[in-house]
């Protein structure tokens, strides 16, 4: 007689583990046009509604998404054509949102994240985008490489 794990038991265990860590994901691509920023933030807000968030939590996430998408459009692609890639995921009480572009990238991420810093020479931008993202989300990570683009990953616990 051989010893081993019954295949049915193994499959049941895998299914149970998947249910415990059920992750729901929204993926979308939008053109880097300023009028698409509102669509992106509303789509993420509707997606996160399954978590039964408060109005304050919805507003926080919408503001952070708006800032990240706007950064991609204004700074990443510098007003030129491109695609903004957005992924939102719900896992348990955690919402994570990734906003990525394939634009010019950021040479000095640490400096770019300082309040009031902006690479905009027109004087129209306040340099508060990353500060707002940090204020409204629990975690923010910025990955960037000059010439290849930038990814902003933001996380927030909903319904503490």
- From 125, 134, 139, 160, active-site residue: 125
The residue with tokens 């902006």 is 118
d(CA 43, CA 74): 20
- From 19, 67, 94, 124, active-site residue: 67
Angle at 126 between CA 113 and CA 103, to 5 degrees: 60
- From 37, 41, 57, 71, active-site residue: 71
- Look up 36 and say whether it is catalytic: no
> Is there a contact between 34 and 85 (Cβ–Cβ < 8 Å)?
no
> Is there a contact between 109 and 40 (Cβ–Cβ < 8 Å)?
no
Closest Cα partner for 99 from 88, 115, 113?
88
- Look up 125 and say whether it is catalytic: yes
- Look up 19 and say whether it is catalytic: no
Give the residue numbers marked as catalytic. 67, 71, 125
């Amino acid at each position: 007689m051989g010893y081993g794990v019954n295949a049915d038991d193994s499959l049941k265990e895998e299914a149970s583990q998947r249910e415990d860590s059920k992750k729901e994901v929204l993926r979308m691509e939008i053109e880097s046009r300023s009028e698409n920023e509102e669509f992106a933030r509303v789509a993420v807000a509707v997606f996160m509604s399954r978590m039964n968030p408060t109005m304050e939590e919805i507003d926080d996430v919408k503001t952070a998404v708006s800032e990240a998408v706007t950064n991609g459009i204004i700074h990443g692609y510098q007003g030129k054509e491109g695609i903004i890639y957005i992924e939102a995921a719900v896992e348990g009480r955690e919402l994570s949102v990734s906003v990525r572009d394939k634009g010019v990238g950021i040479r000095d991420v640490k400096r770019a994240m300082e309040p009031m810093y902006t690479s905009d020479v027109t004087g129209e931008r306040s340099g508060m985008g990353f500060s707002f993202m940090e204020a409204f989300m629990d975690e923010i990570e910025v990955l960037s490489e000059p010439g290849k683009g930038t990814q902003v990953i933001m996380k927030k616990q909903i319904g503490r």
